[in-house]
Amino acid sequence: MFNIKTMNAIAEKGLDELKAEKCAVSPEMSAPDALLIRSAKLHDAVFNKELLCIGRAGIGVDNIPIERCTAEGIVYATKPLSYQGQLIENFSVRFEKGRAVEVKAEKGQDVLEQIISMDEGCHYLGECALVPKESPIHQSGLLFYNTLFDENAACHLALGFGFDECVKGFENMTKEELYEIGVNDAGNHTDFMIGSDDLSIDGVDEHGNVHPIFRNGTWAF
């Protein structure tokens, strides 16, 4: 059961679809799992920590604080992570202001906590990689229990240090300059997979326009 708070009037036909999926839908909720909006402006809104998703019904304006929202929330791993011979399964990482503040795992909780506690930089992301489901590793259907292989099966994130070479002109920049523009500094780099066959990703340009990047686990262009 998911609790969805509506911030604007939404067509009953659309709400019926959500209710059919056993979602509770109401404009009066104190700690919703999701917000459903049209024109409501959320830039000054305070989000409850349980919030998982914000959905906009129809074409809207720049009313969702994209940058703030992408620094908050929970990411769920879609594949197990083998870390130094120990398996972490069915886990998630919760972020506040871009920093990992809570981790949960059905198996390997202590190992997951160890990963983010190595140093302050390990609480932040150093990589976001897009891998379509047509990847040969994904198509093989095999789980190798080796991140260097398994990360090529799905979109993945990494906690820890970022890669200098991803920045144009990095060879002419100091480490301090790279850190200043956002390349994360840490003593470790741990990849974990978040991709799935139904994954959708949108990109937002400098004008606030939304562009489809991934649909159903693969490129949308």
Question: For the segment 189-218, what is each residue's pLDDT rounded down to a tens digit?
Answer: 999 999 999 999 988 888 878 899 999 999
Helices (H), 6-116: 12-20, 66-70, 109-116
Question: For the segment 23-80, what is each residue's pLDDT rounded down to a tens digit?
Answer: 999 999 989 999 999 989 999 999 988 888 898 887 656 888 888 887 888 899 999 9
SS3 state of residue 83: strand
DSSP states of 196-217: -TT--EEEE-TTS-EEEEEETT
CB atoms within 10 A of CB 62: 13
Percentage above 90 pLDDT, the chain: 75
Question: 189-218: b or e for each residue (b if 16 or more CB lie within 10 Å)?
Answer: bbbbbbbeeebebeeeeeeeeeeeebeebe
Average pLDDT over residues 158-180: 95
